Each structure stands twice: as C-alpha cells, then as structure tokens.
Structure 1
Amino acid sequence: MTRDITVDVELPHGPETVWRALTDPAALAEWLMPVRDFEPVVGQRFTVHAKPMPGWDGVVHCEVTAVDEPHTLAYTWRGSRMRATTTVTWTLSESAPGRTRLLLQHNGFPGLSGAVLAFMHRNGWRRMMTTRLAAHLAATGPMS
C-alpha cells in the first residue's frame, strides 16, 4: 500500500506565470529550494537542495518524466533516505481569466515509513504552495 499526497490551490495568476514559477531555476530557488541542472525537458536529471538534517544530506534526486507546457510537469523525487522513488506531478488549468488551479500530486510512499514521509511532505508542500509560492507570485507578478 502506498500513500499519496494531493494539494489543490487556486492562484490569482495566469497559467503561464505559474508555469514560469515551476520551471525557472531562479524562481524555484526563491519559493521551493535551490535546484541544480533543472530544465523542463523529459529525461533531464536534476537535484533539489534543502538544509541537511541529522540522517539526511538535504539532496533530492529527480528526473523529468513529463512536460506539457503550461499544463503538466512531472518528475521523480527521491531523497537520500527514501526507500522508494516517488513522483511529483503539477497540473495547471485556467480556472477563470487570469487565475490558475494548481494541483500537486506526490505519489508512491510505500509502507509505514512511507506514511511518515508522506505526512512530512504533505505539510511541506501545502506550506510551499499556499505561502511561499503565493508570495513569490505576488512579488514577481506577470512577466513578459
């Protein structure tokens, strides 16, 4: 049995603006975490870097698995202490003119340890999307 995470938010910005926040390495560093070697290209391997903690080096290894600009972005996600590779999928849809429904699905947390990791990730993703991403979008606004 695996545990899955779903976080669904509506943002007062168009899909193209939200897409940039999900795919621009500088933007990701501002609201998510610093990334190395990220490009929204299927097969691209990259790493996400968080503050190391006891028992974890802070590095998440990823590979882009799907890109449909500006609708879908998916990649694998595996921290150095995770037993299984999980999948992060972002789905963007225009909910009204100038507004985006952003759905995050983070799937594939197996077993009891997976339940604990899913719980920790769920809280982190929710905070990232409702606080940090929203603040980043408000500060940067639409880009031409």
Structure 2
Amino acid sequence: MRRDIAVETVLPHPIDAVWQALTDPAELAEWVMPVEGFAAVAGQRFRFLAKPMPGWDGVINCEVLAVDAPHRLVIRWQGSRMRTPTTLTWTLTATDGGTRFRIDHAGFDGPTGVISALMHRSGWQRMARRRLGGHLGSRPAAR
C-alpha cells in the first residue's frame, strides 16, 4: 500500500517572495525547521535538523533533485527512521493577488508508511498554511 500527500494553499504574496522563502536557508529554517547545507541546486545534499524525540533523532537527510525557479523544487526526503526515501515537490503558481503553493510528498510505502504519511500531512498543512503564511506576513513588504 502506498500513500501520497497533497496539500495546497493560496498565499497573498508574490511568487518571487514565496520562492525566496522556499530557497533561502535562513528563511527556510523559519517556517520548516533548521537546515544545514541547503542550496537550491540540483544534486545538493543537505539536512533538516528537528528537535529529537523518542524513536527519532530529528535528522532528515535530503537531496535537491530538480529546480525550476520560481515554480518548482523537488527534494529527496528521508528521515533517519524511514526505510526508503520519499519525494517532496513544492510547486508555485502565480495567481491574481498571490501564489498557489502546492506540496506533493510521495512514496510512503507499507503499513508504517500510512502512519508516516498521516503525520507528514498534518505537519505540511500546518507549515504551509500557518507557518509559511505567518513568516511571509512578518517580512517587510518590499524585498
């Protein structure tokens, strides 16, 4: 059994501002989690570093698979407890008055994948709608 996640929201910010929040390491750390070694360049390996919790050391090993600025960023995503990597795709589409932000996170396999997909879905919903939106809203208007 395979589970994939799709989360979508419209942000009242221009596509370039949203792209910067997805690709600038300092901004990325503000709305996702601390990041080490990130650059929006295909082949770049990096890590997200969350607070460790029982059963997980907080490390997510990643690699940038594809970049199509300012529309699409594809990342291989593998938490230290995940048996196989998943694929995370962030897609931006300019809309009247903002940017449609879509998250596709694919490749959650097996019974443990179902649980992992549910946990990731709620996390991505919170990050996309609240944390990214809040981060963008707190920035100065002109950038």
TM-score band (shorter)?
A: over 0.9
Percent identity at matched positions?
A: 56
Q: Does 1:67 align with 2:43?
A: no
Q: Which residue of 2 aligns with 1:34?
A: 34
Partner of 2:130: 131
Gaps of at least 5 residues in structure 1 are none
Instruction: Trace 1:74-113 onto structure 2 (pairs within 5 A).
Output: 74-96=74-96, 98-113=97-112
Structure 2: stretches of 5+ with no match in the other structure: none
Q: List structure 1 runs of 4+ shifted beyond 6 angstroms.
A: none
Tell me how far 1:141 sits from its aligned partner. Answer: 4.3
CA distance in 2, matches of 1:124, 1:31: 11
Structure 2 Cα separation of the partners of residues 100 and 81 of structure 1: 33
Q: TM-score, normalised by structure 1?
A: 0.96
Tell me how many residue pairs correspond in the alignment.
143
Q: Provide the aligned C-alpha RMSD in A.
A: 0.9
SS in 1 for 2:107: strand
1:142 positional shift: 4.2
Match for residue 7 of structure 1?
A: 7
Q: Give the superposition deviation at 1:51.
A: 0.7
Aligned partner of residue 21 in structure 1, secondary structure:
helix
Give SS of 2:75's match.
strand
So what's the TM-score if we normalise by structure 2?
0.97
- Deviations along 1:48-88, one digit per CA (max 9) or x if unpaired, are 01110111100000000010000000100000101110010
Q: Distance in 2 between matches of 1:93 and 1:112?
A: 34
Partner letter of residue 101 of structure 2? L
